[in-house]
Homo-oligomer: A and B are copies of this chain.
Amino acid sequence: MKLSTRTRYGVRLMVVLARNYGKGPVYLKDIANEEEISEKYLSQIIIPLRGIGLVTSSRGAYGGYVLSKPASEIRLREIVEVVEGDCLVDCVKNPSFCSRAETCATRDVWDLLGEKISETLDSITLDQLLEMDKEKHKKPFRKDKKK
């Protein structure tokens, strides 16, 4: 059970957009440089995020991407679900995947586990993540403060 780079990159991408919210569109190229991720790859990952209306794009010179709404109104669950795409186990959503689905107790466990994962991701908003990020990037205290 591995989280794909798509999802990890997708979330990092959204954190950058959150950090720049209100400052106009951000170039994918800049995000790619900042996060050291291939721009082309990011351009694929951002498609579904635009698709569900989490980000808005503008083309042409001085184009770029912006969050469609404040980071406080975006939950990690939305991002992960749409970028990751699939669910833990197919038979949970689609019982016809397995003839045993109706009488399978393990299926109920995977259903529950999927719910817990969703709950956890739903409890975290993008701006909480941004705050955590800011906190982590604070310089440690020094007597001789740098400008």
Contact = CB atoms under 8 A, between A and B. Distances in A.
Query: How many chain copies?
Result: 2
Contact of A113 (B120, B129, B137): B120
Nearest to A120: B116
Interface in A58-88: 76, 84, 86, 88
Contacts of A88: 1-3
Interface residues of A, number: 38
Given A113-B117, A117-B113, A120-B112, A106 B1 contact: no
A76 B109 CA distance: 10
A133 interface: yes
A124 B111 CA distance: 13
B105 A124 contact: no
A109 B136 CA distance: 13
A129 B135 CA distance: 42
